[in-house]
């Protein structure tokens, strides 16, 4: 084992977990694990769905790389457990993670801070059958996006083209989550932009423009086909890319994110106004994932990115000093 990164100690790569994104998380985690080991890190796979997190402390893990996606990994719960265990971890802390996983709460913060995001209506699972659907269509227009408020990887997302499709879309989203987000559809360019760092030191990576088959960037086209085009350089005017990077940085900072994240953005075709859709605080690291792609365009290899993120692992609250008797 190389001593190049021996100061990092014994590292757990948290992967798998119990969310609907388990399959993607296992792919992300295996990629990270291989990269860290190739760089001489004493890294080990750890699946919280199969093992108790207390074992991290018992087995002497010094830090964790969180490659979990969705619930019980990206929502502040694992982050809180690691805070209690005193084991530094990658990515955002408890509060930023718990806000960012909830697309509705994220929108509320962004709107309060003047960050543009599509108009929305929140529908609760036990009330979707009572929704005034004509009024909903009138308010948000068609097409409309219907999705679970706290899922990722395009799981449960439905593009409603006609009013007749709305009940089915609501029912499908309700099967995934207690809260359903109905959102104004923004027609135009779909882009994503990763961020690395924290606070004033945070910086945006190159913007990636996504061109999916028939504009359908769904779960299948994200992870299991090669039909989607990812353009980096994105081909947008330099001033437009810069404006998106500035906006993404503002949105990242107002949520209190750190370590890394990735923002999904739609650029309205006519006005060229960017609208932020959501943020991922534990982005994918698979062969199709976009943060490594953007980092590579900025001259950062996959392996170097993994090591850089691992070095940034931290606790939000340092352990209190023992009181002197």
- Each residue's pLDDT tens digit, 277-287: 999 999 999 98
Quick check: is 132 catalytic?
no
Could you please state the CATH topology (level 3) that the domain comprising 120-184 is classified under. Dna Ligase; domain 1 (3.30.1490)
- The pTM (predicted TM-score) of the whole model is 0.91
What is the b/e burial string over 135-156, where b = at least 16 CB atoms within 10 angstroms of the residue's CB?
ebbeebeeebbbbbbbbbbbbb
Greatest Cα pair distance in the chain: 71
Counting residues of the chain whose pLDDT is more than 90, the rounded percentage is 83
Q: What is the pLDDT of residues 185-234, one digit of tens each?
A: 999 999 999 999 999 999 999 999 999 876 555 555 555 557 789 999 99
For residue 321, the model assigns a pLDDT of 55
Q: Does 259 score more than 60 pLDDT?
A: yes
Catalytic position from the list 150, 280, 289, 312: 280
Where along the chain do its domains lie?
A: 6-90, 99-116+187-310, 120-184
Catalytic position from the list 17, 93, 156, 284: 284
Region 234-240 average pLDDT = 97
Q: Specify the range with the lowest mean pLDDT, choosing from 167-171, 175-179, 218-222.
A: 218-222
Query: Into which CATH architecture does domain 6-90 fall?
Result: 3-Layer(aba) Sandwich (3.40)
For residue 324, the model assigns a pLDDT of 47
Report the chain's C-alpha Rg in angstroms: 20
Quick check: is 284 catalytic?
yes
Q: Which two tokens mark 136?
A: 């909903």
Q: Which two tokens mark 30?
A: 């295996």
Average pLDDT, the chain: 92
Could you please state the CATH topology (level 3) that the domain comprising 99-116+187-310 is classified under. D-amino Acid Aminotransferase; Chain A, domain 1 (3.30.470)
Torsion angle in degrees (nearest 10) through CA of 220, 221, 225, 230: -160
Quick check: is 316 catalytic?
no
Catalytic position from the list 278, 282, 294, 312: 278
Q: Does 1 score more than 50 pLDDT?
A: no
Quick check: is 223 catalytic?
yes
Quick check: is 153 catalytic?
yes
Q: Does 24 score more than 80 pLDDT?
A: yes
Q: Does 113 score more than 60 pLDDT?
A: yes
CB 268 within 8 A of CB 275: yes
Q: Does 244 score more than 70 pLDDT?
A: yes
For residue 183, the model assigns a pLDDT of 97
Question: Greater confidence, 269 or 317?
Answer: 269
Catalytic position from the list 262, 275, 282, 289: 262
**pLDDT class of 325 with cuts at 50, 70, 90:** very low
Q: Does 164 score more than 70 pLDDT?
A: yes
Catalytic position from the list 217, 223, 252, 275: 223
CB 92 within 8 A of CB 256: yes
Q: Do domains 99-116+187-310 and 120-184 have the same CATH topology?
A: no
For residue 110, the model assigns a pLDDT of 98
Q: Does 288 score more than 90 pLDDT?
A: no
Question: Greater confidence, 44 or 318?
Answer: 44
For residue 4, the model assigns a pLDDT of 63
Q: Does 107 score more than 60 pLDDT?
A: yes
State the residue for tokens 């659907």. 133
Catalytic position from the list 47, 179, 241, 264: 264
Catalytic position from the list 98, 153, 282, 289: 153
Quick check: is 23 catalytic?
no
Quick check: is 264 catalytic?
yes
Region 63-85 average pLDDT = 96
The 3 state secondary structure assigned to the chain is: CCCCCHHHCEEEEECCCCCCCHHHHHHHHHHHHHHHHHCCCEEEEECCCCCCCHHHHHCCCCEEEECCCCCCCCCCHHHHHHHHHCCCECCCCHHHHHHHHCHHHHHHHHHHCCCCCCCEEEEEHHHHHHCCHHHHHHHHCCCEEEEECCCCCCCCCEEECCHHHHHHHHHHHHCCCCEEEEEECCCEEEEEEEEECCHHHCEECCCEEEECHHHCCCHHHHHCCCCCEEECCCCCCHHHHHHHHHHHHHHHHHCCCCCEEEEEEEEECCCCCEEEEEEECCCCCCCCCHHHHHHHHCCCCHHHHHHHHHHCCECCCCCCCCCCC
Counting residues of the chain whose pLDDT is more than 70, the rounded percentage is 91
Quick check: is 216 catalytic?
no
């Amino acid at each position: 084992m190389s001593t190049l990164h021996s100061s990092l100690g014994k590292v757990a790569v948290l992967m798998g977990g119990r969310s609907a994104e388990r399959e993607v998380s296992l792919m992300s985690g295996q990629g990270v694990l291989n990269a860290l080991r190739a760089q001489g890190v004493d890294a080990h796979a750890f699946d919280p769905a199969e093992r108790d997190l207390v074992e991290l402390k018992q087995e002497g893990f010094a830090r964790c790389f969180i490659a979990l996606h969705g619930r019980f990994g990206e929502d502040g719960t694992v982050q809180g457990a690691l805070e209690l265990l005193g084991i530094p971890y990658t990515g955002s802390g408890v509060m930023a993670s718990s806000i960012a996983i909830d697309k509705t709460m994220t929108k509320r913060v962004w709107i309060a801070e003047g960050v543009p995001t599509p108009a929305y209506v929140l529908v609760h699972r036990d009330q979707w059958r009572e929704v005034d659907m004509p009024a909903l269509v009138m308010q948000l227009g068609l097409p409309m996006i219907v999705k679970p408020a706290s899922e990722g990887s395009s799981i449960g997302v439905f593009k409603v083209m006609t009013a007749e499709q709305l009940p089915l879309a609501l029912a499908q989203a309700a099967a995934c989550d207690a809260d359903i987000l109905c959102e104004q559809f923004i027609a135009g360019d779909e882009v994503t932009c990763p961020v690395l760092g924290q606070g004033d030191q945070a910086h945006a990576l190159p913007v990636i423009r996504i061109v999916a088959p028939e504009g359908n960037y769904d779960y299948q086209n994200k992870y299991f086909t090669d039909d989607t085009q990812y353009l980096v350089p994105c081909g947008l005017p330099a001033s437009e890319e810069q404006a998106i990077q500035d906006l993404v940085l503002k949105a990242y900072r107002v949520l209190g994110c750190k370590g890394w994240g990735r923002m999904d953005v739609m650029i309205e075709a006519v006005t060229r106004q960017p609208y932020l859709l959501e943020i991922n605080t534990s982005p994918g690291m698979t062969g199709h994932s976009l943060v490594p792609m953007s980092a590579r365009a900025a001259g950062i290899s996959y392996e170097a990115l993994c090591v850089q993120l691992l070095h940034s692992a931290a606790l939000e609250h340092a352990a209190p000093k023992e009181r002197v008797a």
